[in-house]
Structure 1
Amino acid sequence: MAVRLGAAKRRAVLAALALELNRVVSGDRLLSLVWDGSPPPQAKAALQGHIAQLRKVLAGGVALITRAPGYVLTGERGAVDVFRFEDLVAGAREAADEAAVGMLTSALALWRGPVLADVPGTEVREVVSARLEELRLVAVQELATRLFRLDRAADAVSGLRDAVAAHPLRETLVARLVLALHWTGRQAEALELFHRTRERLVDELGVDPGPELRDAYQTVLAGDTAPKPVERGPVPAQLPREHRGFVGREPELSDLTESLRGDSATGLLVGPAGVGKTALALHWAHRVAAQFPDGQLFVNLRGFDETEPLDPRTALVGFLRALGATDSRIAADLETQAAQYRSVLAGRRVLVFLDNARSAEQVRPLLPGSAGCLVLVTSRHRLDDLVVTEGASALHVQRLPEEGAESLLAAVLGRHRIEQEPDAVAELVELCDRLPLALRIAGARLASRPRWTIQSLVDELRDERHRLSALELPEAGRGVHAALAVSYRELPEGAARLLRRLGLHPGTDLDSYTAAALLDINVASARTHLRTLAYASLLHESTPDRYTRHDLVRLFTHHLAAGESEVDTVLATDRLLDYYLWVADAARAHLSDHVRPFDPPEHRPATFPELPSHAAALDWLTLEEANLRLALDIALNSGRRERTWQLALCLDAFHFRRGNRLDRLALCRIGLVAARELGDEHVEATFLLRLGSTLADLGRLDEAIGACTRAGELAGGDRHLELAALANLGYCLMADDQLDRAQATILEALEVAREVGDARSQAGVQNNLANVLLRKHLPEDALRHASEALGLFTSVAPSKAHTATLHTVGTASQQLGRLEDALESYRAGLALAERLGDRYQEALCRRAIGDVLEQSEGVEAAVPHWLAALHLYRDLRLADADELARKLDPHVLAGPDVSVGATR
């Protein structure tokens, strides 16, 4: 049933989706296709409107579905005439002549003019028009061949004449038309067509007619009246021998089989040096070689050799010779060579393997036009252009899984040898980064030294300074370092400079802001360089704008960085540390209740991520925690004392919010040492206070009281610091059950808080006082002070202390028997703790909710909340985890986790 689609762009949307039937087309690709690569700002909204309208009119078993990251048109292949045409042509290849004629005639009848003639724009048409036109010409040729066999040459003339009119220099078509005219008694027309074509070949291409056209001419001159089978050229079999010991890769082999179904498929295998792209592609090619009876072509394009990449003209000459063309027939210019190559392959089923391609421009002339051919391309570069313009299916080849890596070693060394040292084998696999090239070299070194243990090689490779050189074959100039060096030398200067700088970055991942800081450039330029490195498979974009590197690439960057001048290295390291410090301090401002920002660092970054909210700050710290710890190690080990304590303080704020007491303990000691070496008593006191509260939470109360007491001695007239020292000391004394002394200390802190006029500090101290009163079994007084604290918190931004105060109000209400009020306060505290990412207070509130529910509804209602609290207690390594565990039935502890989402 025909339906009216309306807007021209809507036809383009439907065409783009129909040409990828049952495959997801991303929204970005649709926008590019429909608006010819330049979608206007309103294009996304327009696209959504077209999708909505299409859904209203589509019927007949075809549906348009939203599926991340775009849309998919679902239906039977026969619902799209392009696929119906392809299936009929494919079926005709294996059919008897009479049936084949019917199929091919039906297929050609589906054509009603140029492909997508009524679809606006060029990009959608360019994706398929050349391929489909080639397939149509193949169908015309094959139909003529089958009609000749059935002695029905007259039926072939009309189709051949139209095809030759459109493609007058396609010799296979002209040869068939010459024969068709001859066998229908029109010898004069046949001879005139031959001579006219010969003149055009000489004038336009500078070549004489090829064997097939000359044979047709001789048939006319000889007066042969019986059709002869069309001769095919030689059958090349150029696939190299498979790599011995190929193992695993079953998921990748299945992906290749699935994605390279159908005609005109192009598979692109992309990955870093040494990951095994060629071995994988070669293994799969040998698996399917029998499906290509007209041969297999192979060429190493040398895109990443020490020498220049192979000129595609050289590759084409080799292919044409393999397909039977003589040198005198092969044109000189690239475009004509490519046309000859496509003509020779027309109607054939050939597998073409293009190994180590450097660029899409190097590959494109080597792509057949024939629908029966399949192409495999391997490259370290992503070659996204082949995906966009040629519809290639990209497979990103990853490192071997652990089991596959061990199997590869077993193939080289023998199973018996690796079974003798399983631990050493597991470590060797990781030291080789699970890269097949590195594993083969390590295996070769061990195989040639049968008296070596595997552990002896592991001991050598543990030394990061020499690991890359140990994974080289010096006599062959091959290995991981050599392969990476070729990729590095081909980089543009900006990307090469960034790769060298990455040797100074201690982590395995980074974003564009960090890269910009290393190079002292803007973030847009840094993104360009990072994408270039990812394109060359030296980095991997794990998430948008975040890049990771394999371990051997990391060691290679260290080698590059070692060649930099000391002045440049020190300056870049300072910029890196100052970048992390600048953003971490901004994050700390959201997480801590009392923050004095640091003075601007020496190298303030020009660009950095904005952290507008508490959640954004917490997310950034969570993402960068590992890098911040490594940056702290650099600062500590290089004697940068001020940066050391500042980074430690930022990380302490993060772990304080997370409730991680043991990590806080280590950070406080690092900061304390740095402060003492600087002679900065104010900073020393700051870390002593944090150390004291952490020790108190861990139950080490004598040490905690001592640390807070010393902090007060060092406050030196700084009233804010004196206030913090008194508040923390009171907290520690309360934890030690010195309640009268704790109350006196906290009341003194309250006076200081009122003096300095800090509402948040007053509220926090009031809450501490309420907790002391609870310990003294005075819940009414405690509730009064805690409620006053809540009133003060309403005038300031949400904070950790606010959450703690809600817990205190709940505890006082519970002791007074007001269970509904208690539950309301605990739930409010839990909601705020989750919002702030405060896992410690979340644990306390979940535990308290369970306790109230035990009183009001029974143990069964309490258990899910206790379980959730227990998981948090154990994650945070809190001392009262064991006491909570005893409240729970052992059978409950052994059971599955229980959802407690209803408490929010």
Structure 2
Amino acid sequence: MEFSLLGPIAVTTGSAELSLGPAKRRSVLALLLLQPNTTVPLEQLIDSLWEEEPPEHARTVVQGHVSRLRATLAEGGAEAYGIELATHGSAYLLRLPEELIDAHRFGELVALARPEAAPADAVPLLREALGLWRGPALTGTVTSPPFAAAAHALEERRLTAVEALGRAHGTLGEHEQAAAILYSAAVNHPLREGLIAGLMRALFHTGRQSDALEWFHRTRRLLNEELGVDPGERLRGAYEEILRAEAAGGGRTGAARPAGGARGTGGASGGTPSGGTSSGGGRYGASGDSRPATGSAARPVDGTGRAPVQGSAGTDEAHGAAGAPGSDGTKQGTPAGGRGGSGSGRTGAPPRLLPRPPARFLGREAQLAALTTVLTDGTTGESPLAVVAGPAGVGKTACAVQWAHLYAGSFPDGQLFADLRGFGEGDEAPPAEILGDFLLALGTPPERVPSSAQAASALFRSLVAERRLLVVLDNARSSAQVRPLLPGGPHCATVVTSRSRLDGLVATDCARPVGLQTLGHEEGAALLGAMLGPDRVAEDPAAARELVDLCDGLPLALRAAAAQLTARPRWRLARLAAALRDERRRLALLSAEDTGIAAALRMSVARLSADDARLLSALATSADGHLNASLAAALAGYDPERTQDGLDRLTEMHLVDEEATDVYTISTLTQLFARDERGEGGESDTGGTGDGS
């Protein structure tokens, strides 16, 4: 049995939550839990439950609530946990092991953490402690002053833990993480000087001196306007520390900024996997304020010029001429509406929500150049919109995130990122959820975030109307899911990734498509070389070419193959190629833990209608993967019109490719997946099930 104060008042046994009844009954329980194993006088309960003069029958009401609570706890098996709600004269005592109360566990974890002495141990302790919070403390209690004071005290303890976690990350030199943790708390508590001071130091150590100083001046103005006071010692100390370091040429102390390239926050580890899913850690992460290198870029394979990043693609300088300086020394290729400054109405540090840069990102020169052309078009006076589309596993997310990091400096008012979960486990992300996250990141107080998607969309467009902001919407399922999330200002730019072409956005919002294709032999071999080392690939170039063919040139599949070889350093490439020739094992071998081409295809097929799923299954029986509408109709047993409509939808979803008029191809891996699904469950008659069968 567990008792929750750090959020809605609740009592849970196993996975079930006990029904506690109305607010006053919950408030009685909360007051007893705030003073566990201590007698609480009946008069104190009455004074806390009624803000004004209590009714004549107040004693009877409280006694009734205690009686019902006692019965509820008994029904939940309280005795087995050593829990007893006892009456002592005109007082009550809730006897229980205090570790059953989340607020007590929170306090113990925070007390154990030593951010300065043992920061590596403090980080997981504080994260676990803060993870106990499920919302504002004491939610569901009455709104009397005693409960407001108790909730405020708990919130102060939470903020103290947040500050401690920021200090722990800072002590470890993890300043990006410290800034990300402290930022949202600082936005919601703009007068808490210790919090702001910690954020300033974290921002300074990541090279964002101007943002750090802006936080000081903003807080100083708020203190003066709202409280009529000057900054205290902690805030002044952080400010003076930054000024002294700047004067001494200290600048960023955490790590050197790669010359002219994206900031190396991700290095070669982790990042955004190819195939349209965001990096580990969900939608949020601190991103750099980098710009692409000026002039000609060096090949990224050897790690020069910019930080290596993950994704998929061939061998690419990525920027081309778009990042070259103009004759007057100014940066060319600034997105549409580019203007100096940070945009009117901006408060606090700009949001930096991009995932870490993708590691070992190679190639995609033409696609990155196309994105630059689309998103730097200032001739229309409209907010530019690009759709990066392609089959599962082709590296859409990596391409979009790579471009976003290269051009983050062109969007000084921030970069927003969201995984729309259009092709993932579970339901797609509703627009209201994403808009709520965006509004909070832009500094909107939680209580002012509208509950309806329509109102939230309007507020979002109003807030960013005059800002230079980049929005990356990853893994979209449909145009309707995207439209409420589009910014309205001409100085904003939006990149959407999807397995669907999103023709609706092209029709209604003038989106410009940027298609992503599979890799050729040279590009695929370069990706294998970046993952495994060039020597291992060079010793057997024929096997490398065969691996590219067996992986259908999909970066996600090639990365999975590289993972297999990395785990088996004695294997030559030819040995893996021989194993992959066995079509029964190929999909299993092209998986790496929670990622792989089969999982990616399953998410695409799960979104098909029953008719289209059956059509895809029929197409998989084609001998060589090449067919026309007549052959497809014969295989599926559909009439020509029904077959043509289905082929069009499969083509839009990049499960089938139309090479020429009435010439369709289905990739080998898609064929293998569809055959496996058909063989496991028989012919599908639902189409939309989670396993695509």
Tell me the TM-score range normalised by the shorter chain: 0.3 to 0.5
Instruction: Report which structure shows greater RCO (CA 8 Å, sep ≥6).
Output: 2
More helix by share: 1
- TM-score, scaled relative to structure 2: 0.48
- TM-score, scaled relative to structure 1: 0.37
